[in-house]
Structure 1
Amino acid sequence: MALPASAQDFRGLLPGMPASALAAVGEPFRIDQEGGITAASYPLPFERTLDVIYADGTILFVALGVLPATSMSPPASSGLQVGESSLDAARTFAGSDGFAFDVFQSLPSLPPSGWRLSYTLPDHPGLVLYLSFYGRLDPSLDASDITRPGDAPQDAVLISATLTNPTLLAQYPNLASLAQTPPPDTTPFARPLSEAFPLIALPQ
């Protein structure tokens, strides 16, 4: 059975939607609550995860992630897949390097070890898509030595894809650092969200 064109691996969830929409995803395997803010993680097929942050009845943050010891490879997809897609493939698919290229730490105890590309979405004004990649470097370097996407290891692997609404997150001081406001002249992601992260059909 063919999936509808709007089907995507974020399970139809977007920042700004009511938190009641999470009922369709099932039960989380992890949930944390602090100061009126809830963070929950839901299992997806092939050892992937859906991570959601919500507060005051509204979804603020949605992310596709991959479990640390991933061994289950999903079927081939026409879009991008966490745990599978390379930085080179993502840049080509996106049509540009987005509006920001940042260094991040995969673990607080480690030096910078990954990179993040940031995009606006043509089909969802107000939302920002972040693509985070992890790759190995020469031991004499760390990720902060790389300042341009083209200089990062192009085989670095996509480890998370995150949707945020910067305007909503700005209302919560503890979450404001999770998003950045794009400049007005940014080049948007070249594909609709449903093409970028199509829902993976389970084998029959």
Structure 2
Amino acid sequence: MKKVYLSIIFLAGLISTGCSANIDHPTISKNTESAYEETFNDLALGMLFDFNFHLPEADKRWVTLWVESYSNGERDPQPLTQLSYGNNPVEVEKGNLGFGIINPDGEDSMVFLYGPDVKSAPEKVERDLNQGLLATWDYAIGEEEVELELGETKILAAYRKSAGNSMRTIDYQDEESVTSIIEEGETVLLLKIKVEEKESEFYSN
């Protein structure tokens, strides 16, 4: 009986340790059936990537969300758009986070980013996104909720346009695969996120 009792205590301790190890990690999951996406589709505004975002200890953390832009194998020196926020007065932050492109195939494309209780104003895209014949946009994460490590950069979504007559499917979490499509000269937009313990208004790859 004593052994059973000790085993139960040990098991409870493991469960408690596992929970405490995960409780402080930010998490994100794609939200493909959100009202935001439905509105974009119904009004034919463009494309939208929407996510469910959970940020524990939001009062001590800083979130940077940005879009890297590549063309002809080169990265543009500045992000296409960027949103940086943090040190929320609440301890736990939950809500929608995402990236939208209005009129991606036109001359007057506009982009914007948003997070829980924060958003950027739509910005006109100064570069031509209409180069190429085939376009595709994909979520870079799967169906399961993803745990974000502090200080880690994670690709959340991608938009690609190619002059060729076909486009291959790639794993956006595989650095070599991403590098290959960039070097092939495709127009590539990568939505990235980083969560840090410190205040920061800079992005890095």
TM-score of the superposed pair, with normalisation by structure 1: 0.28
Hey, which of these two has a bigger chunk of strand by percent?
Answer: 2
Query: Which of structures 1 and 2 has the bigger CA Rg?
Result: 2
